[in-house]
Structure 1
Amino acid sequence: MTALRPLSAAEFEAWLPQAIEAYARDKTAAGQWTPDEALARSREDHARLLPQGLATADHHLCAIVNSTGTAVGVLWFARQRLHGLDIAYVYHLEVDPPHRRQGHATGALRGLEQACASFGFHGMALHVFGHNGGARQLYARLGFEPTNISLFKRVGAGD
């Protein structure tokens, strides 16, 4: 059974540089940032969103733990307002490669869904990169519905 627990300071310090690099790679893969700017922009975004690290108000960083209590990934969500209601906005969900395809992401999101009531949240929202087909399938299977879809097509010199 998958569960969530608060991320420790040591886990946060180990996670943050990896999360910054992964976000930079995703933004580059999505064609939103150039490789030259991606790492700096990712650092800026993370610094803006988590100015006090783990102590940043309304942000929750959780270790995803398996049935033996081993941390197998990270879930980061924050309180946001959507249509006048408080929601859980998922900034980051990642299961470590050796533990993927074992239901931990599903378990983490179901755990967050159950916790929404205790936080006073009325829903959950997230962003998924178009190139992440596995995540898109997971979110659809769990009942997430698209609210906006951006499309892009390369033409001309970029071909």
Structure 2
Amino acid sequence: MNPPVVTLRAMRQDEYEDYRAGRDLEYVQSLAKTMPADAAMEKARQDRARFLPRGLATEHQRLLVAESATGQVVGFAWVGLEEPRSGTTDTAWLHDLKVEEPFRRSGYGRAILAAVEAVAREAGAARLGLNVFGANAPAIKLYQTCGYEVTAQQMAKRL
């Protein structure tokens, strides 16, 4: 079977509002596994204010919609064209990659990731970094099979 083809395009404002609401909810749910819910909501708010202070117009951030060969929206990606801690542009940062539910497990994640890598390369990045929650086994497997390596790791145990 041939891998699916995707095209990335800039996210529109109406798409951004829906994307942001859904991403915030998923982010808070993931954070709430390791911190109180109110702290998770506050961290999500602070992170959005830090990384997307101007929404779609935030400099060095690309919010992208992935479309199939038939023009159907199959997913989304948010890539920063600078490393978030240092601000250097030799490393781009994948803040989010989402494949819509009906298209999961059919190669779209890999296709979107490859397209994002091309965006990062075209912007001059030599590396693409990302964080992934430890419980997100499907994402971890995707990144590993695409050549990503662990560069840092946090661990915890519930007491």
Distance 2:20 2:87 in 1: 31
Query: AA paired with 2:44?
Result: S
Once the two structures are TM-superposed, the CA of residue 84 in structure 1 deviates from its matched residue by 5.8
Once the two structures are TM-superposed, the CA of residue 83 in structure 1 deviates from its matched residue by 10
Deviates more, 1:144-153 or 1:96-105: 96-105
Query: AA paired with 1:149?
Result: Q
Deviation digits for residues 108-158 of structure 1 (CA, Å, limit 9, x no counterpart): 111122233320111100000000011000000000000011111122xxx
Deviation digits for residues 93-113 of structure 1 (CA, Å, limit 9, x no counterpart): 111112211211110111122
Pair 1:87 & 2:87 matched: no
Deviates more, 1:112-121 or 1:60-69: 112-121
Distance 1:117 1:49 in 2: 21
TM (norm. structure 2) is 0.89
Pair 1:18 & 2:22 matched: yes
Give the structure 1 partner of residue 130 of structure 2.
Answer: 126
Say if 1:3 and 1:64, in contact at 8 Å, map to a contact too: yes
Extract unaligned runs of 5+ from structure 1: none
Map residues 1-159 of structure 1 onto 2, 5 A cutoff. 1-29=5-33, 31=34, 33-81=35-83, 86-155=90-159
Hey, which bits of structure 1, 4+ residues long, moved more than 6 A? none
Query: AA paired with 2:72?
Result: T
Say if 1:3 and 1:107, in contact at 8 Å, map to a contact too: no
Aligned length: 153
Query: AA paired with 1:41?
Result: K
Distance 2:75 2:57 in 1: 20
Once the two structures are TM-superposed, the CA of residue 8 in structure 1 deviates from its matched residue by 0.8
Once the two structures are TM-superposed, the CA of residue 66 in structure 1 deviates from its matched residue by 1.2
Once the two structures are TM-superposed, the CA of residue 45 in structure 1 deviates from its matched residue by 1.4
Percent identical across equivalent pairs? 31
Distance 1:56 1:86 in 2: 19
Query: AA paired with 1:38?
Result: A
Distance 1:28 1:39 in 2: 8
**Does the residue aligned with 1:80 lie in a helix, a strand or coil?**
coil
TM (norm. structure 1) is 0.89
